Amino acid sequence: MNVVTDNLGKVSVTVEKDYWDINKSYDKLTVVEDLGTSTAYLSRKPVPPNINIFNREYWIKFGVGSGGSVITLAQELGYRTNVAVSQKAITDAIDALNEQLQLLARAIGENVIINFTVSPESVFVGEDTTVLFNVTSSFPTTSISIEDENCDVIPNGSGSGSTFECSYNMNRATKGDYTFTARVVVLGIEKTVTLTIPVNMITISQLKVTPSNIYQNEASVVTFTGIASRAARLEILDENNAIIHYVENSTTISYQHTLQESTLGFVPFKLKAIKGNEFILSDTINVLVVESLYAYFGGGATYNDVVIEANKTRNYGKIDASNPTRSYTISNAANEYLWFIIPDGTTIRSITSNGFGFAYDEPVRTLIGDKYYNVYRSHYSFVDPTTWPIDITYN
């Protein structure tokens, strides 16, 4: 009988009693435990010093935790010298087991629940705002990181296991929705979760102006006021969109402006708020330019009398024309008529006092100075000095 002898080399597994040390050399089929990860590795062949344990040419992951069944098997094989197995049988079994472990890890990883939240949930254009991200996992993680909309990792996060927190200074010059991504690794499986932080533009309250009407060809002071929901550059714009006044980094604006308009009608103004690279405009607010209406008590009995006296003294009071109905209190001396001097083209519809109709004659179109007016006169003169509440409706 012919005997064929084949030197198989080392065919038993050795379990290293001490933790793996990169400075040591190891024989093939040696099981070591990595202190940092509590993971067991099996050497495929003799390992010289300074070979990293993650180098798969020399090492293959063998199991996790000192109580794992794989390590238990290795210990038994390593200490029972009467048991001999080939290196290929061992490595094939380990590879098959690793495949099963990877399938198990994937199944666990795919069913892990990740919660990704941020506070506050929205910010404003052009403002430095510190937001706090929070990530929680239903299973312990290997690593967690958060990326901004440019895929840059946000630094200085903290946490361990299944929780992670990260503060981030956010300042965006343009409104819109900005997306952040949490990357979570569980048992070698990466999961990503995204959330969106809206960057909003501020709001402004309607620009207000007081008074809302002025008289034609007269210098009048009006006051503009407006409010913004957040501090911004606030501008008041005239009908040509030119800036007549502005304030920086403020929530309110108040400005007195002198107007002198020669054209009747509405003069538009707007409030503009600028924040970052964005701006918002208010609706248009109008200043109404009107002709002057006058009420006058005089002793003359004819229209010529009042015209002469009006030109001589200009002693009559203006009536506000911004609203078709106004109430006034007018006092007369003894034996005076009440005159109303209305610009040409304007008609009084009614005059009442204390709810009763006020009798007046038909108007006479009369030239006063260089302009024509419709002149109304009370039908009777007032014998005694009296103060009259007058309501006038005109169009």
Let me know if residue 266 belongs to a domain.
yes
**Backbone phi, then psi, for 33, in 5-degree steps?**
-115, 130
Q: Are residues 132 and 78 in the same domain?
A: no
Let me know if residue 306 belongs to a domain.
yes
pLDDT of residue 325 exceeding 80, the answer is no
Quick: pLDDT tens for 336-395: 777 777 777 777 777 777 777 778 888 888 776 677 778 888 888 777 777 767 777 766
Looking at 274, 290, 306, which one is the last position of a domain?
290
Looking at 135, 170, 200, which one is the last position of a domain?
200
Per-residue confidence (pLDDT) for residue 298, from 0 to 100: 60
Of residues 196, 170, 7, 193, the one with CA closest to residue 86: 7
Q: Are residues 298 and 386 in the same domain?
A: yes
Q: Are residues 345 and 326 in the same domain?
A: yes
Q: Are residues 30 and 97 in the same domain?
A: yes
User: pLDDT higher for 352 or 197?
Assistant: 197
Quick: pLDDT tens for 212-239: 888 777 788 999 999 999 999 999 999 9
State mean pLDDT over 250-260: 94
Let me know if residue 326 belongs to a domain.
yes
Domain range enclosing 267: 208-290
Of residues 93, 173, 80, 159, the one with CA closest to residue 125: 173
Q: Are residues 18 and 98 in the same domain?
A: yes
Taken in order 237, 243, 248, 252, the sign of the CA dihedral is negative
Per-residue confidence (pLDDT) for residue 311, from 0 to 100: 47
pLDDT of residue 128 exceeding 80, the answer is yes
- Alpha-carbon separation of residue 32 from 70, 89, 102, 143, 177 (angstroms): 12, 19, 21, 24, 51
Q: Are residues 105 and 63 in the same domain?
A: yes
Q: Which CATH number characterizes residue 156's domain?
A: 2.60.40.10
Q: How many domains does the chain have?
A: 4
Average the pLDDT over each of 109-113, 132-136, 276-280 and give the range with the smallest value. 109-113
**Backbone phi, then psi, for 132, in 5-degree steps?**
-115, 115
Q: Are residues 314 and 376 in the same domain?
A: yes
pLDDT > 90 in the chain, percent: 34
State mean pLDDT over 19-45: 87
Let me know if residue 327 belongs to a domain.
yes
Let me know if residue 162 belongs to a domain.
yes
Q: Are residues 166 and 212 in the same domain?
A: no
Cis peptide before 120 (omega within 30 of 0): yes
Q: Are residues 82 and 149 in the same domain?
A: no
Give the pTM.
0.56
Taken in order 202, 135, 104, 14, the sign of the CA dihedral is positive
Tokens found for residue 262: 């020669």
pLDDT band, very low/low/confident/very high, at 2 (cuts 50, 70, 90): very low
Q: Are residues 286 and 298 in the same domain?
A: no
Quick: pLDDT tens for 273-314: 999 999 999 999 999 887 666 665 565 555 555 555 544 434
